[in-house]
């Protein structure tokens, strides 16, 4: 927790609780920290007489205490959400900055606030009033996730080349066959590879086994013939980088983009996460039931997985309309 040196103690305690008791990932803890830090900076700006040009990111929050937090009302929360929707910009130095962040980003920040106040009111009982308890999340526009077709997936795999060809090919095969997250792939160790499955540590440090077929096994074996000759700084890691470290999420992002470009695909439209979507769609196309796909992907909520059934419904409709018989009018005159 040394990296959160500028936290007030009450926020540090919350982060430590989620790290040690709830067992949440370092990424989740970092997101809580950034979202709540922004909220507290906004509250300090609203409550104190600061110069008009004060940058939100420059406001210290270390002196915030429980009394300050207790004084925050639902109206204050609404002000913060309004600021996010209308005045916050992700790139203030741009020539023409875009103001207002997306509903999904606002929802994430509200989720952090809800978790924080639940901790204070329910878990530790330091507060009796919860100003965010009844607040609804911003309405999100539901859209179908992008994914590669079977032909595009084959083209992607065929296009892999370069000095790390076996490694990159194995990574893409795992994404397309197993549908794991980028962070989960980076966290894989040599001991997580079994004959026909991977042991994956997902969100909240929850473990699951994800099975793969013979082609994926062959791709992993081909890579392991190279990997076993190397010594990495973290020699437990399944995938290493060219500088001898465990591969990073940024490096995985870059190698996926490189392969997409080599395959002649639009790298701005697809990513490692879209390969996860592709795996889920292929599973459903192959007749796997949605509950099983939920377990493979590591989704806590079945509703998260069910969006892929909408993709399947869309594809079935397109397939039906593509049938030549659908264009013939059999009705009697």
Catalytic residues: 181, 203, 273, 276, 299, 308
CA–CA distance, 238 with 190 (Å, rounded to integer): 5
- Site of tokens 């509950």: 291
Rounded CA Rg of the chain: 24
CA–CA distance, 244 with 247 (Å, rounded to integer): 9
Please report the sign of the dihedral spanned by the C-alpha atoms of residue 152, residue 153, residue 154, residue 155: positive
Quick one: residue 56, left, alpha or beta (phi over 0 = left, psi -120 to 50 = alpha)?
alpha
Number of Cβ within a 10 Å radius of residue 130: 17
Cα distances from 266 to residues 153, 169, 171, 282, 311, in angstroms, run 13, 19, 19, 20, 20
């Amino acid at each position: 927790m040394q990296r959160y040196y500028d936290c007030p103690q009450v926020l540090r305690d919350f982060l430590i609780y989620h790290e040690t008791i709830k067992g949440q990932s370092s990424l989740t803890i970092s997101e809580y920290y950034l979202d709540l830090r922004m909220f507290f900076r906004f509250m300090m700006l609203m409550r104190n007489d600061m110069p008009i040009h004060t940058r939100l990111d420059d406001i210290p929050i270390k002196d915030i205490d429980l009394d300050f937090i207790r004084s925050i009302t639902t109206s204050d929360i609404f002000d913060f959400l309004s600021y996010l929707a209308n005045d916050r910009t992700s790139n203030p130095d741009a020539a023409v900055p875009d103001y207002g962040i997306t509903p999904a980003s606002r929802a994430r920040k509200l989720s952090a606030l809800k978790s924080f106040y639940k901790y204070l009111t329910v878990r530790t009982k330091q507060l009796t009033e919860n100003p965010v308890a009844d607040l609804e999340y911003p309405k999100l526009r539901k859209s179908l996730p992008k994914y590669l077709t079977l032909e595009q997936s084959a083209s992607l795999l065929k296009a892999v080349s370069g000095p790390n060809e076996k490694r990159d090919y194995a990574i893409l095969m795992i994404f397309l066959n197993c549908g794991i997250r980028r962070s989960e792939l980076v966290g894989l160790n040599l001991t997580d590879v079994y004959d026909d499955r991977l042991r994956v540590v997902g969100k909240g440090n929850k473990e699951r086994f994800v099975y793969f077929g013979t082609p994926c096994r062959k791709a992993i074996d081909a890579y392991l013939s190279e990997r076993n000759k190397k010594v990495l700084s973290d020699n437990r890691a399944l995938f290493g980088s060219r500088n001898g470290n465990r591969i990073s999420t940024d490096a995985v992002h870059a190698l996926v983009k490189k392969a997409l470009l080599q395959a002649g695909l639009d790298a701005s439209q697809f990513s490692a996460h879209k390969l996860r979507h592709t795996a889920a769609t292929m599973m459903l196309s192959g007749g796997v039931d949605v509950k099983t796909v939920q377990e493979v992907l590591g989704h806590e909520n079945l509703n998260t997985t069910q969006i892929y059934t909408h993709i399947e419904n869309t594809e079935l409709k397109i397939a039906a309309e593509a049938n030549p018989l659908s264009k013939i009018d059999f009705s009697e005159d």
